[in-house]
Structure 1
């Protein structure tokens, strides 16, 4: 199964109702194209994951790149995957609160357990781990180091 993820910068403001309408429209179109995925938006930036037949996804990505409402900043083609991960999500909008519901510790453990060193070089694995650690350190830098009072 072919998949990609892209990041884009919004060229106009997007309200939650607009984002849901956009996802509904994409859901109907993607169902016809047999494409699945999700869309999220935070601080003027989109992240979208798409999976399906390569030609269909590439054609859709060309259409997306020509949409004047945003500018695609980065596209990452993912290694072929054995199956669809989001078989029921022709397009689902995930809000910031939806993403927050995903447990970071579970995601970290799952990522580390499944990181295939046959696909990714040791350097790439270390880079991914470094990014995770930087994200943790930034998040916790202004938070107390302990919930227990000093002895």
Structure 2
């Protein structure tokens, strides 16, 4: 098993329905490849974790890097793992809400990030995603 986490910046042209399409396709593709993951959005910035067999994760990451809906793709973690941090999510998504935004899949400023994530996930991942989601 392997975990890869990267960050990127959304293209200016990326719209809300584009994100919904990305999530739908990702969930379907990940289910077929036995991948799990978590996508976090904070304004125009993204952080995503992918977990699964190393070759599958790296194949998906190669496709992600060439996707023109975002730029500045930078891998921050790539490591062998014994156990998944996101075992039940083919692709879960949370976004930091802005003053006018609303969504059923939103992490609001006052929500506890660790309450939304797997309580058994490694503390360093919890810290990493917590910091990312709290950035201003």
Corresponding pairs, count: 116
Output the aligned Cα RMSD.
3.1
Larger radius of gyration: 1
- What is the aligned partner in structure 1 of residue 37 from structure 2? 37
- List aligned pairs for 1:14-33, cutoff 5 A: 14-33=14-33
Does the C-alpha gap of structure 1 residues 13 and 2 become closer, same or farther in structure 2, counting only changes over 3 Å? same
Between structures 1 and 2, the one with greater helix share: 1
**5+ unaligned residues in a row in structure 2: which ranges?**
98-105
**Runs of 4+ more than 4 Å apart:** 104-107
Does the C-alpha gap of structure 1 residues 66 and 73 become closer, same or farther in structure 2, counting only changes over 3 Å? closer
User: Is the contact between residue 20 and residue 93 of structure 1 (CA under 8 Å) also seen in structure 2?
Assistant: no
- What is the aligned partner in structure 1 of residue 100 from structure 2? none
Deviation at 1:11, TM superposition (A): 2.0
Between structures 1 and 2, the one with greater strand share: 2
Does the C-alpha gap of structure 1 residues 85 and 106 become closer, same or farther in structure 2, counting only changes over 3 Å? closer
User: Is the contact between residue 4 and residue 75 of structure 1 (CA under 8 Å) also seen in structure 2?
Assistant: yes
- What is the aligned partner in structure 2 of residue 6 from structure 1? 6
CA distance in 1, matches of 2:93, 2:33: 18
Deviation at 1:104, TM superposition (A): 5.8
